[in-house]
Amino acid sequence: MMNVIRRLLKFPLNSPIHYIRLDGKQKVDIIYGTFRALASENSTAKTLSGHSFRDILSDDINDADTFGSLAPSKFYEIDTRPDSESEQKLNEYEENFIPLEQKTQGQFLLEIRDLLNAGKLKEALIVFEKQMPVDKQKPDKYIYNEMMSSCAKAGYFEKVFEIFRKMRDRGIGASDCTYTILFNACANSPFKEEALSKALYLKMKLKEDNVRLNLVNYHSIIKAFGRLGEINIAFQIVDEMIKAKVYPTTETFNFLLQAAISDKKEGFKLVLVTWHKMLKMKVTPSVYSYNLLLRAVRECSVGSQESLKEVISLINSRSEWEPTPVLRNLLSKGKKKTSRFDKKMNSTQVALMTHSPVPLRELLPPVPPYQLLKFIRDGNPEPLSLNFSSQSVAAESPKRRLLGYLAKAVDLPNLVARNPNLKGVINIEEVGKRQDRLALCGGLVGILQDMNLYDAKPNLKTCTELMLSLPDNSAEEELLIEMMKLLDIEIDVDFCNMLIKKRAMSKRHKDADKVIELINELNLRMNNVTFGVLAFTCISKEKTKEFMKIMKLGGFRLNQVIAGSLINNATFKNDCNFLTYVLDECSRQKLKPDTYILKKLEDFRHKILNIYKLRDQDKTVPGYFLSEDFNKSFRKFSTYYRNWLRSQDVVIPEHPWGKFKYTEEEAKLVVSE
């Protein structure tokens, strides 16, 4: 028998698979090559690839090494002609056969993951859509989810649903992970209307199919509808969660806060409502929760007076949140915007109670920022009126003294504390400004005190949001910086850049220049963004020349952002000589203008031409535009601008998905590799 097998092993590698039945019982399966032939039990011997089983076995009988009976051996003759069932299996085998030089499904998964981790989504799509079919590989659920997830993160909404349709057409069912990816794609899509229709359809299908969702699924749905502006649906999802016995966590409320922030007109009230709902359910806010709260302080308005009264009254009375018609209208899809109130917010007083109203400014910390700053730097407790003896203060570190102050700063108005501190009386003035909204949340000190209560250590993002919402006052900004040092929060160059921009936008140009001293003190390195925000302080041709020299010494070149800021300053000042100088620098450094720069230049030119039309019609125009110096500089600018425009190539903005699309030539190059 072993000799038979040895001879069979001498078959060429392109021979098919043979099944041989010996003695009617045993079955030997020998596999060679790429084709399969299945033999029936009663078959006759046939020659394959130049060999005959009868010849092989006959040779075995006459072998000199054969011992035993002289009678001829019994064997079954094998017919290798396939029947209909065998032919079907042969076709399946041919379809699924993978040559050694081609990649397996697992190898493709690893290759796609490596490309996606390297940020090469376009190359991963080429492998997924072009190379896998060439190698006769069909993606499994894991590869589909991997590709959809990366496209969703990039906002490539269209491709996510295209891949999902292919996955569904192949009969591969969606998993919990797939649902999360689909809603994340809707949340990140740059085209909100189309994404909203898809999200609504998905939500309806999940309900029809009675799909049981987990916490991560609910979070993705809340995030999607929140970012797409459907705040009412986002809040309804939480009710559905509780009904399904999936209880909200800190992350759940963080997504609700994101949803509230998407409403820039009324979002601040929604954030207050969400915050107190979170505290009432005994969910502990995280540092990320506070960062979202501060973002709402910075970005969102308070909306209508009536709903603001109701929200603060509910918070002050600590009653259960039952939406009244005002709040239902606030959360409804077709809510009316009170833009007339928003325009007059700066001069509106909202009196929630009538006993001895106290202006908001009088409810701020009794210690001015510069005195608190002196306390931190010098260790002098007197201005704070703390119950510390001189010996205990001397023995304590500045950090402990600061935390001691925060623990005793209980007289601040604070609408976000677990026990809101309003003393039953409040009168809000100018609540349209971000610094006043911050004051309602306890101000700089109150926020840090509240975070300390929940063991939520502030990070750099927290301090950046605080800095952007502080009043335009250098003393308070420096107080924040000192607190950051005491709390061991590392200041980076991005924080300094934001501080420069804040001071520059509030026309505090000298204070903005002082931030460079802080950068040098902390041994930080300036970057392109630093020069981009410093460009806001260049309000004259002379200062811009000095700025260009410093930038050149630092090894930086003019870019479109910096040039746009300088052009914006020049057009705001109506300084044609300044503007001509900036355009000349752009040409000298071979900088191509983008659409923003061209729009600014065209708007400026049309503005001056319209002023000249009014002048020719004997209408009143500012005297500056009538001077000979201005007319001469504008003529010079117009001539230069026409010649400059002819020599420039306009940079057209790319479609959001353009960087992910590939040509057939690019696909061939990747597949050939």
Task: Supply the DSSP string of 198-219, one letter for each residue.
Answer: HHHHHHHHHHHTTPPP-HHHHH
pLDDT at 68 over 50: yes
- Domain for residue 157, yes or no? yes
- Report pLDDT digits (tens) over 96-154: 655 556 778 788 888 888 888 988 888 888 888 888 888 888 888 899 999 999 999 99
- Report pLDDT digits (tens) over 298-351: 999 887 777 777 777 777 665 444 444 444 454 443 333 333 323 333 332 333
Residues 17 and 160 in one domain: no
CA 48 to CA 15: how far, in whole Å?
A: 7
3-state helix, strand, coil in the chain (%, to 5): 60, 5, 35
Residue 93 pLDDT? 58
CA 56 to CA 8: how far, in whole Å?
A: 8
- Domain for residue 425, yes or no? no
- Domain for residue 72, yes or no? yes
Query: Which structural domain, as residue segments, surrounds residue 623?
Result: 538-673
The residue with greater pLDDT, 294 or 54, is: 294
- Domain for residue 208, yes or no? yes
CB 379 within 8 A of CB 394: yes
- Domain for residue 382, yes or no? no
- Report pLDDT digits (tens) over 399-411: 555 555 554 444 5
Residues 83 and 110 in one domain: no
Residue with tokens 């509106």: 348
- Domain for residue 178, yes or no? yes
Residues 194 and 217 in one domain: yes
Residues 70 and 214 in one domain: no
Flag whether the pTM goes above 0.85: no
Residues 576 and 637 in one domain: yes
CATH number assigned to the domain comprising residue 228: 1.25.40
Domain boundary among 312, 344, 376: 344
Residues 191 and 290 in one domain: yes
CA 473 to CA 364: how far, in whole Å?
A: 15
In this prediction, what percent of the chain has a pLDDT beyond 90? 33
- Report pLDDT digits (tens) over 207-254: 998 899 999 999 999 999 999 989 889 989 999 999 999 999 999 999
Start-end of H helices in 396-442: 398-408, 434-440
Segment (H or E) for 500 = helix 493-505
Residues 120 and 256 in one domain: yes
Residues 199 and 251 in one domain: yes
pLDDT at 260 over 80: yes
- Domain for residue 453, yes or no? no
- Give how far the C-alpha of residue 506 lies from the chain's centroid of Cα atoms, to the nearest Å: 29
Residues 138 and 251 in one domain: yes
- Domain for residue 439, yes or no? no
Coil, strand or helix at 466: helix
Domain boundary among 344, 377, 400: 344
The residue with greater pLDDT, 549 or 16, is: 549
CB 256 within 8 A of CB 238: yes
CB 338 within 8 A of CB 303: yes
Residues 166 and 288 in one domain: yes
Domain boundary among 311, 344, 377: 344
Residues 140 and 246 in one domain: yes
pLDDT at 205 over 50: yes
The number of distinct structural domains making up the chain is: 3
Residues 641 and 542 in one domain: yes
